[in-house]
Amino acid sequence: MNLDAAIVYLLVGGAAGWLGFRWAAAWRRRKDGGCAGDCGCSAKVGKKG
Amino acid sequence: MSVPAPALAVALVGNPNTGKSTLFNALTGLRQRVGNYPGVTVARKSGTCDCGDGLKVELVDLPGLYSLAAASPDEQVVTDALVGQIAGERPPDVVVLVVDATNLLRNLFLASQLAELDRPVVLVLNQADVAREQGLRIDTALLSARLGGIPVALVSAWKGEGVADVRRAIARAAREQARLPKVEWPANIAAALTELTRAVAAETGRAPTPAEAQRLLFDTSTALPERLGWSAERREPAIRALRDQVRRSGFNPLAAEPLVHYARLRKVLEGVVTEGLGKAGRTAAVDRLLLHRVLGPVLFAGIMLGMFASVFWLAKFPMGWIQAGVDALKAGVAPALDATPMLQSLVTDGAIGGVGAFLAFLPQILILFLFVGILEDSGYMARAAFIMDRLFSWCGLNGKSFVPMLSGFACAIPGLLSTRTIEDPKARLATAFVVPFMSCSARFPIYALMCAAFIGPLYGPGWESAVMVGMHCVGLLFAVPVAFVLTRFVLRVKPQPFVLELPRYQMPKPRDVLWRMWQNAAEFVTKAGTVIFAITLVVWALCYFPRDPGAAERVRAAQPTLSAEALDARVKAEAIERSWMGRFGKSVQPVFDPCGFDWKITVGVLASFPAREVIVSTLGVTYSLGEGAKADSEHLRKAMQEARWTEGPRAGGRIFTLAAVLALMVFFALCSQCGPTIVTLARETGGWRWAAASFLTMTALAWLAATVVYQVVSRLAPLA
């Protein structure tokens, strides 16, 4: 695999992984109640303190 | 070292929109904790407040409510918290009641009810600055004397005036334990309350508190009897008999409570408030025009039309600057990546193309929120609610549904969360079901792209604005019959009265409007730089792979006369057709064929199911990869205008005809394309059943409506 492909795979894989991680985290937060804050709305609820 | 727990628990209560949370922030500063009350999705906000002389109190900001007649989950939490019936929560040692100083009579109704809870109270008259502006003078000493000597503080929380007085007042209330005087009930009502207390105690073994007895007698929708364990067989005849007793004394039992409280409050306020020359007369005159049965809706439509026309016109210039910036960025970056063609395509066609196409709408979003901010802060939005309430009451929705639905025009999530203020669970469910129909701001970029690329150039800016307004109404037009069917035939919602407080008109504060614009801009740019950027890279990869290294040679052999530029475009078009996304889009395209969508639009539609705004960046990638177009909004428009069907009965014809453009916008106006909304709907309705029903209903309606629009318009205007 050449450098060109390696960089592209790394970037795309990183983006897909980050999206998956982010959605999983939002799912967990939403189960705890309130808005997970990933929807762009203004009703963000902080973590339970 | 452990921090000592605050000595006192203090609850902050008040009507909605009295500045309660602003006061809470001023009293607690940054020492706040946010969570949920156990078992319910009602936010619990608490913080520590220093009241001087070493007295630190735990301050809890309770949800706003108008009355202790708890009907909604929010209101139930407040009444439970005030009487200490929430697990793990101590009852408040002091209650701070925040009221609007400009509307004391209505706000003090809650104070009059709170007296029955027998707790030390501090009365905070907030918005003192506005009261001054209106020429109102309030004698706080006289008011305190009339209210049993409780501390009364006149403050302006948002200006920070009088906050120190509130701290001192809390300390004084804790020290002196002054209570609000209880209302004196007319003899027949007092006798009915005594009799009711005796009946409950006889059956359940526990006498209800005076406040509970009043709720049992005056409220029809309270859950209190079940909580007290008072059986329905005994309860219903007993309450009926006691209400008859109240009726014989000349009171309607369901209206007796406010009548008695307000009669007493009018006496309390005599001489307390002195009115100067107010703005009430001018407000009433303007309202006669803006709330007119016929003129009101016409003016509302005109204001909306003017707003969207201005958005398009004003945004043209900054959009051009952004496009020039994107062009310059691509031109600067591309040569540096000549040695790595795959990365070059990822950066220029994918990242810059997709994100650039999305970012180009920033000026329109900013200008839209400028107008929305001005309309909200001037007091006009509440009038719009009043105008729209007529429509909602017709379709059987609770009048309170307007606020969630209005919020839905910005984003469905806060709209869904605000349905918690609706008391009737069935009305709450019906409202939550139709909130996602409202045209949220995420739909704006696709409308803007289609209007700017096709409607404006073909029919002029007037039609551009009209279509924009129309698209914002499509969701509403479908929501009304859906709500009608739900409320009348499925859920059988009983009609409920709606009380809307119309704020006075005022000049919007530039700082507040600009702050809201800034917040929205920051959110939009953050989204472009994070989620949209990541999705764009993934969509690019799906559109780019697998590669066929022999494609260029094959195309050149088949069409040897092609210029280098045309050859490049042809190779790119073939590559995307053979890509994973291309194959997937082509296999699903027959489903969307009746709507007039080709496989590239189909790819955009499918990629947009998690979040609908992804459509623009996806089209940006597919068209820049597929057509060899430069990927910014201007070039994306051109590529779309020139796109043609390559196969099938429409081969050679334009893809984006008027029929297809309208069908695509209608599809996005109605389709359920937002993962967070579906999850929130499931949580708010207590399960996945209604969320699944909403997703299926909206998606099916979107497909059906887009098909009807495409088929009808393509027959009526085949050349457009």
**Segment B247-289, tens digit of pLDDT:** 877 777 777 888 888 888 988 988 888 865 455 566 777 888 8
Higher pLDDT, B695 or B83: B695
Name the minimum distance, in Å, from the CA of B523 to any CA of chain A: 7
Nearest to B352 by CA among B98, B633, B85: B633
Asked if omega into B718 is within 30° of 0 (cis), the reply is no
Task: Tell me what pLDDT residue B140 has.
Answer: 92
Nearest to B411 among A30, A33, A40 (CB): A40
Name the minimum distance, in Å, from the CA of B41 to any CA of chain A: 6
Task: Tell me what pLDDT residue A46 has.
Answer: 38
Task: Tell me what pLDDT residue B2 has.
Answer: 46
For residues B39-77, one letter each, b for 16 or more C-beta atoms within 10 angstroms of the residue's C-beta and e for the rest, the string is: ebbbbbbbbbbebeeebbbbbbbbbbbbbbbbbbbbbbb
C-alpha of B189 from chain center:
42
With CB atoms and an 8 Å threshold, state whether B41 touches A36.
Answer: no
Task: Tell me what pLDDT residue B628 has.
Answer: 45
Q: Is the ipTM of this structure higher than 0.85?
A: no
- Rounded to whole angstroms, the Cα distance separating B436 from B691 reads 11
For residue B381, count other CB atoms closer than 10 A to its CB. Answer: 17
Higher pLDDT, A19 or B255: A19
| B157 touches B130 (CB < 8 A) | no
Name every residue whose Cβ is closer than 8 Å to that of residue B267 and which is 6 or more positions away in sequence.
none
**What token pair was written down for B384?**
């719009």
With CB atoms and an 8 Å threshold, state whether A23 touches B35.
Answer: no
Band (B630; pLDDT cuts 50, 70, 90): very low
Burial of B267 (0-12, 13-18, 19+ CB in 10 A): exposed
| pLDDT (average), residues B183-201 | 88
| B112 touches B139 (CB < 8 A) | no
3-class secondary structure, B173: helix
Window 16-35 of A: residues touching B by CB (8 A cutoff) are 16, 18-19, 22-23, 26-27, 30, 32-35
Residue with tokens 């209206």: B255
CA angle B443, B445, B450 (to 5 degrees): 100
Higher pLDDT, B559 or B173: B173
| Region of B229 on the Ramachandran plot (φ > 0 left; ψ -120 to 50 alpha; else beta) | left
* Closest A-chain CA to B40: A33
For residues B517, B522, B528, B530, the Cα torsion angle rounded to the nearest 10 degrees is: -150
**What token pair was written down for B156?**
């302006």
Please say whether the dihedral angle defined by the alpha carbons of residues B233, B239, B241 and B244, taken in this order, is positive or negative. Answer: negative
The answer, yes or no, to whether residue B629 has pLDDT greater than 50, is: no
Nearest to B619 by CA among B523, B536, B699: B536
The answer, yes or no, to whether residue B428 has pLDDT greater than 50, is: yes
Nearest to B30 by CA among A49, A30, A34: A49
For the stretch B122-132, pLDDT in tens is 999 998 988 88
Nearest to B151 by CA among B179, B123, B113, B174: B123
Name every residue whose Cβ is closer than 8 Å to that of residue B444 and which is 6 or more positions away in sequence.
B361, B364, B365, B368
| B429 touches B685 (CB < 8 A) | yes
For the stretch B578-613, pLDDT in tens is 889 889 989 999 999 999 999 889 988 988 887 787
Name the minimum distance, in Å, from the CA of A20 to any CA of chain B: 10
Q: What is the DSSP string of A18-33?
A: HHHHHHHHHHHHHHHS
How does DSSP classify residue B424? Answer: S
Nearest to A30 among B410, B527, B679 (CB): B679
Say if A11 is an interface residue toward chain B (CB within 8 Å): yes
Name every residue whose Cβ is closer than 8 Å to that of residue B375 and which is 6 or more positions away in sequence.
B303, B307, B381, B384
Show residues of chain A in contact with B527, CB under 8 Å.
40
Window 336-355 of B: residues touching A by CB (8 A cutoff) are 339-343, 346
Q: How far from B449 is each of A35, B613, B625, CA to CA, in Å?
A: 29, 11, 18
**Kind and range of the H or E run holding B610:** none
Name the minimum distance, in Å, from the CA of A4 to any CA of chain B: 5
The answer, yes or no, to whether residue B480 has pLDDT greater than 70, is: yes
| B191 touches B256 (CB < 8 A) | no
- Rounded to whole angstroms, the Cα distance separating B698 from B671 reads 5
- Find the DSSP H helices in B593-717: 599-607, 614-627, 633-642, 658-670, 675-684, 688-716
Show residues of chain B in contact with A33, CB under 8 Å.
36, 41, 683
Q: How far from B11 is each of B67, B123, B140, B193, CA to CA, in Å?
A: 16, 12, 22, 28
| B383 touches B502 (CB < 8 A) | yes
Q: B686-695: long-range contacts (C-beta < 8 A, 24 or more apart)?
A: B690/B429, B690/B432, B690/B433, B693/B433, B694/B433, B694/B436
Residue-averaged pLDDT of chain B:
83
| pLDDT (average), residues B148-157 | 92
Nearest to B44 by CA among B84, B12, B14, B5: B12
- Rounded to whole angstroms, the Cα distance separating A18 from B446 reads 26
How does DSSP classify residue A48? Answer: B
The answer, yes or no, to whether residue A35 has pLDDT greater than 80, is: no
Distance in angstroms between the alpha carbons of the first and the last residue of chain B:
76
Nearest to A41 among B411, B533, B610 (CB): B411
